[in-house]
Structure 1
Amino acid sequence: MQEKVELKVHSVSEIVGNPEVGIVVLTDKEEIMQIAIVCDKAMKESLHMHISKQKVCNTMLPDVLANILLNQVGYKCELVINDIVDGVYKAMIINTETSQPLSLRASDAILMHVITRVPLYATLQLMKRQAVPATTGGISMALPYNALSDKMLQDAMQSAVEQEKYEMASAIRDELKRRGKL
């Protein structure tokens, strides 16, 4: 079994100028390192609703299914963010009694954690590769290029060229080439 780092939700926000894209910042328990998971607008809004504990959440499908799974069926599990492929984080829900994994989106694993408090982890290997030092009270953070979608990278490359930040544009181009998108 791989080594893991327990995570907690630090914040949910959006990319400045793009309300369609959410950013979920997760930190380790000691708040030393953090990773940022990109999600869509619907997930961002759902996470905001659950974090603020709005009453309507109790009757929403994810909450009802989590209640059935954990409280009525007695499913014992943990959530593990274990990889990133072309800007999309991958996760698993792992049955802690049988070790059987099931794949799910990282943003869905985060939502399940927020709803149920089922432990949320990242593999140590992923944290070593993707994490940046945690920031407190800042308005910006480092976000690795491989954590961005193809569209976000293309927009960022165009912006970097327009701003004459050619070194940044080159790095973004290299990531797009690595993905076979150029």
Structure 2
Amino acid sequence: MNHIDATAPVADSPQRHLAAILDGQHPATLLTLSLNPMPVVDQWCREHGTQLTRLEAPDPFDELARLGRFDLVIVADQLEYMTRDNGTELLGLLRNLHTNAMVVLYQPQRAPDTLRWPRNDFLGMGLRREADFEDGERSMTLYSYELDTYNFRRAWNNPQYWANPENWGRYWW
């Protein structure tokens, strides 16, 4: 994601943080997976001429199979009602086939105890924790994924440190 500058004022609500991400990404195509409407996304798309596709199904896999790639995918109010296996499959499918950038909003208190995701499950899928929001007893965590920045370049992974530099890029094992 185009991360917000540390010197800039921090967004104090999920809606403002999401709007800031949309402003930074400025996607031409956007997919939302949510069982409930997302007014801030709808308004942003109308104002910026973004093509918005909504999936509002508890089991979005069949509809998702008919869709192509999007500049950005937002998942909200969806994983709380899916088994961890189905949720992992969904995020992996989105990440690998449908987008290079994704935002996930997760509210653990909405999920039954048996369906709650530990934070490490999101991190294990390559998502980065962007923000935590608290409103009384409710909490929400915003995670993001961007293919271009999730895996940093390592200094040792180049021909200089290769055993046979003349074979760099020539052979695949």
TM-score tier after normalising by the smaller chain length? under 0.3
Q: Which has the higher strand share?
A: 1
Which is greater in Rg?
2
Q: Which has the higher helix share?
A: 1
Determine which structure has greater relative contact order: mean sequence separation of CA pairs < 8 Å that are 6+ residues apart, divided by chain length: 1
Structure 2 length-normalised TM? 0.26
TM-score relative to the length of structure 1:
0.26
